[in-house]
Amino acid sequence: MGNISMEVASGTYQFKVEYSKIKGIPKGGFISSPIFIVNGHDCKILYFPHGYDDNGTMRLTFAMNCKSGDMTASLALGLLNKYGRLSSNACRRVNMATFRQNVWHEHRVHWKMKQSELESHFVRDGCFTLICSVTFMSESYKEVPKRYVNGILPFNIDDYLFHLLERKEAADVSFEVDGEIFTAHRSVLAARSQVFNAQLLGPMAGRGMEPIKIEDVKPMIFKAMLHFIYTDSLPDMSDENVQLVAMTQHLLVAADKYALDGLKILCEDRLLRDISMDTVISIVTLAEQLELDDLLDECLNFICNPTTLSLLATTDDYVQLMQRCPSLRELIGHHIRSKIWRTA
C-alpha cells in the first residue's frame, strides 16, 4: 500500500511514505511498515492517515509480537518535519506499554492534523517520514533511569549548540552589524545556509577573525537569525521593546537573503496569524515581493472581504499601495471578480 522504505538508526525506527499514496486511502484504511526487529521481537507501525472512526484524527499504531515472554516498553511515535527534526506537536508518547508473548499486541496514539499542515510542514521530495522509538524496561519499572523512559533521545542537541553560541566557545568567525560584533562558527553557518557556505568556505575562508560587515540587516534581526541557525526556533521576543510584526517581516527578508527556508516558514506562519487592518498592507507587499503564495492568498482574502475593503479603501496606505504596486492592484481586482463570480 504505497512505496515505503525502512531505515534503522540510533535506537529509532523510521519509514518514508509517499504523500500521493495516502490521498486514496479511505477512513479506517492504513499503511503498514515492513516488520522490523527490536531486541529480537517482531514489530510494525500502522499509519491511519484519515483516522479509524468518524472523528477523523490521524492515528499511529505500534504493534509488537514478543518472542520471549511478556514485555513492558516506553514508546514515542511521530513525524519528522521536512528538515528531519521531531517537533513536540507531532509526537506522542506512551510511558508503560505492555506486550504479550506470541500475539500481536497494539498501542496507538492519535492527534488532529490537517492535510495542508502535513503537506506544508512534513512533506519533502514527495515523501514524509514516520518515526518510532522503543525503550524496553527492566522487570522493575523503578529501576529504569527516568531520563530514558520517555523514548527518542534523553538530550537536545539544540541546547548544546545554543550554549556554544552564547559562550562563544571555539568561535572562528565574526560579523559587524551596524557597529555591533557577533561571533559564530563557520561550520555551523555553512551547514545551515548555502549563502554562508559560499561566503565562509569560499574566498573568505582565510580571513581569520576579521569581522565581516553585514549590510541591510539590523543587529536585533541578525541576532534572531543566529538563534534560529543554532536552535531551529525563533527567540522569545515578548520582552523586547519592538513591534513583533515588523521584526518578523525584517527577519523574513533576512531569511530569504541567506536562504534559510526553515526560518522563512516560521516567519510566514507567524505573519499568517498577525494579519489585521493595521498590518495587512505591509504584509501583502512583502508576500508579493518574496513570492510567498500562501501568505499572499490569506492577505488577499482578508483585503477582499467587503467590510474590510470598505474600510481599507479610505486609508492613505491602501491608496499608496494601489499607486505604487500595479501588480497587487491587478491581483486584488482579480480576487474581487472571482468572489463575485463564485457567489453569482
List pLDDT tens digits, range 182-201.
Answer: 999 999 999 999 999 998 98
* pTM summary value: 0.57
Say if residues 2 and 22 touch (Cβ distance below 8 Å): yes
Alpha carbons 258 and 254: distance in angstroms, whole number: 6
Task: Provide CB contacts within 8 A for 203, sequence distance 6+.
Answer: none
The Cα–Cα gap between 29 and 59 comes to: 11
CB atoms within 10 A of CB 188: 19
Average pLDDT of the chain to the nearest whole number: 80
Is the confidence at residue 277, as pLDDT, over 70? yes
140/256: higher pLDDT: 256
Farthest CA pair distance, the chain = 76
Q: Which residues contact 265 (CB under 8 A, 6 or more apart)?
A: 120, 121
CATH numeric code, 4-148: 2.60.210.10
DSSP tag of 49:
T
Question: Hey, CA dihedral for 66, 67, 73, 76, is it positive or negative?
Answer: negative
Paired with 66 in beta bridges are 101
Is there a contact between 104 and 45 (Cβ–Cβ < 8 Å)? no
Domain parsing of the chain, residue ranges: 4-148
**And the C-alpha cell for 211?**
569581522
- Which of 12-16, 53-57, 253-257, 284-288 has the lowest average pLDDT? 53-57
CB 84 within 8 A of CB 59: no
The predicted-structure confidence for 113-147, as pLDDT tens digits, reads as follows 777 778 777 888 888 999 888 877 644 333 333 33
Is the CB of residue 135 less than 8 Å from the CB of residue 141? no
CB 38, CB 134: distance < 8 Å: yes
Share of the chain above pLDDT 70, in %: 82
Q: Determine the average pLDDT of the residues in 80-102.
A: 76
* 293-303 vs 326-343: helix crossing angle, rounded to 10: 70
Q: Residues with Cβ < 8 Å from 76, sequence gap 6 or more?
A: 91, 92, 93, 94, 131, 132, 133, 150, 151, 152
Query: What pLDDT band is residue 327 in, cutting at 50, 70 and 90?
Result: confident
Helix (H) or strand (E) holding 22: helix 19-22
Q: Which three cell numbers stand for residue 121?
A: 510542514
Q: What are the backbone angles phi and psi of residue 272, rounded to the nearest 5°? A: -60, -35
Residues 27-42: tens digit of each pLDDT: 888 899 998 887 778 8
**Which of the two residues, 45 and 337, has the higher pLDDT score?**
45
Cβ atoms of residues 249 and 212 within 8 Å = no
